[in-house]
Amino acid sequence: MDDLAVKVLAVVRRIPSGRVLTYGDVAALAEADATARDVGQVLLRHGDADDIPWWRVLRADGTPPPHLLDRQLAHLRSEGTPLAPSGAAVDLHAARWAASGLGQDAQPSLFD
Partner DNA sequence: CTCTTGACGCCGG
Partner DNA sequence: TCCGGCGCCAAGA
Quick check: 100 binds DNA (CB under 7 A)?
A: no
Quick check: 79 binds DNA (CB under 7 A)?
A: no
Quick check: 60 binds DNA (CB under 7 A)?
A: yes
- For residue 106, the minimal CB distance to DNA (Å) is 19
- The site for DNA, by CB under 7 A, has a size of 26
Closest residue by Cα to residue 57 from 9, 109, 102, 4: 9
Report DSSP letters for 34-63, one per residue: --HHHHHHHHHHHTTSTT--GGGEE-TTSP
Contact 59, 43 (CB under 8 A): no
Residue ranges in contact with DNA by CB under 7 A: 2, 4, 22-24, 33, 35-41, 43-44, 47-48, 54-55, 57, 59-61, 65, 67-68
